[in-house]
Structure 1
Amino acid sequence: MTSSSNEGYSTEKVRVSADFLKSKMGNVKPKIGIICGSGLSGLGEVVENKIVVKYSEIPSFVESTVPGHKGQLVFGQISGKDVVCMQGRFHPYEGYPGWVVGFPLRVMKLIGIEMVLATNAAGGINPEFKVGDFMLIKDHISFTGLAGYTPLVGPNDSSFGPRFPPMNDAYDKNLRTLFKQCASDLGYDDFMRDGVYCNVFGPSYETIAELRLLLKLGGDAAGMSTVQEVVTARHCGIKVIACSLITNECILEYDTDKTVCHDEVLQTANDRAHQMQTLVTNSQTSRTHWQPLHCS
């Protein structure tokens, strides 16, 4: 599957998947969805009273083929709040059309999700960023979307949202403010950043010239995921907050022997996993921080 058209998508497929998950959720009624990026599946491990559903069991779901992505949904509680975690996501470079990458967000909408926290592993373009930094995403530049790879290509499904959804508010300002405050309360100021996420197709890492272009355009980090999920969520009216873990420094100079590989990405994610888990857990523990995330 390489086309970005939504010829295989239907509202009925979303309903069937959602109904299947409702039959598995028991008494869990999540309003919060968490998407775990590469090496960050540990976020799902802090969920209590787990109900695990493999992607292979869910109608119309596909497999997550990337190392560091477990390929399952985890329902349960974090700090007493009902949540669902995606341990693994789908990427454009795996050959899936745009509607497939965004499909889980439409399913989340039908099971009651009102807010999504998306995480990812990204390369730091901004020279001030260091490996291990967290970057709260304030905006994105989507080269995939600008080139026509989007989950909204094809006839619009008005049962979910409008033909032309705005994206100027893609990343909720109030949620970002509260998330940064929670990070500050935890003493994370030294490695908490905010910035612009550049979405590229992959799976090859970017050339030096490409990264220099992204830097000139105002990009702070580069990655191969997240934007299709954000666009789908906003089309559905789901609030979004997203955070990148800077897992490697992008190479901007020709005179170097440095390189980057996925193993480095996973290792950095593993090293920072505890802090990310603590941040997510404490965001939910604090009533001051969590009340807006709970969309009440």
Structure 2
Amino acid sequence: MRFVLRRLVHALLQLASVSVLSFALMELAPGDYLDDMKVNPQIPAEAVERWRERYGLDQDLITRYGRWLGSAARGEFGLSMAYALPVSVLIQERAWRTAQLSSVALLLTWSLAVPLGVACAAHPDGIADRALSGSTAVLLSLPDLLVGLLILTAAIHWSLGPVSGKLVPAVLGLSLISFPAVFRHTRSAVRDALKGPFILHLRALGIPEARIVFLHALRSSMNPIIGLFGLSLAGLTSSSLIIEVTLSWPGLGPLLLESILSRDVPVVLAAVLLSSTMLTAGNLAADLLLYASDPRIRVEDGPR
């Protein structure tokens, strides 16, 4: 139980740190959303000041952060300066789109990468192993933005139809980004397990190779694979924002970019905090899975 409590406290501290850093960085950037209004001769200075008071920009930094944090704890993120709508309403549909994209890509990536990684570990240096190891090495070297641009280029070159705003190209791009790490990590973990002395003992007993690989070797490799799950979610969260912008998927990515460029601070803070919450929840889930699967952690966490 202490392990779970430590992870919960760590997750809360992470979110608190993200909120402080995000708020401070937005404040340190020069100018604000109302700068364009100031230079517009058709907007009187009194109107600009009323807007400044409405959004609390006339208050000091600590007061504004305290008010924002209290509202965020209640699920209220204020009003968007650009859209004049509640931020919670504005990001609700976008967050669902991002979660949809990330969930489908996560399912596709792991359902393909883990079995293929195990199979290649069982048959090292085969044709499939060489092909997948080489192609994943190339994919790992490509920036996320370039992967999205390559999908756009391929769709145009082969006349595959519209790509912008479609789920399949976005899932494909995100899966191509996340697949290499999961595949190579699984292959390495299972291959190391197959070199263990207990594997030689199982083979000497005449146990079928498929059972040795997929039952015993894979099970002994679960800890590093589960640990990778949290890192995979972190990569998906950051990569999804880039893929969404590149392929015009209507998720948090385009909204966050627009809000940063226009200095729409309430939307930026809410989007960053929501993305961080998704990431932290994924890491916490990975830690809990590791706690459930590894009895050594439960023994260390027991009474002393």
TM-score (norm 1): 0.21
Higher helix share: 2
Higher strand share: 1
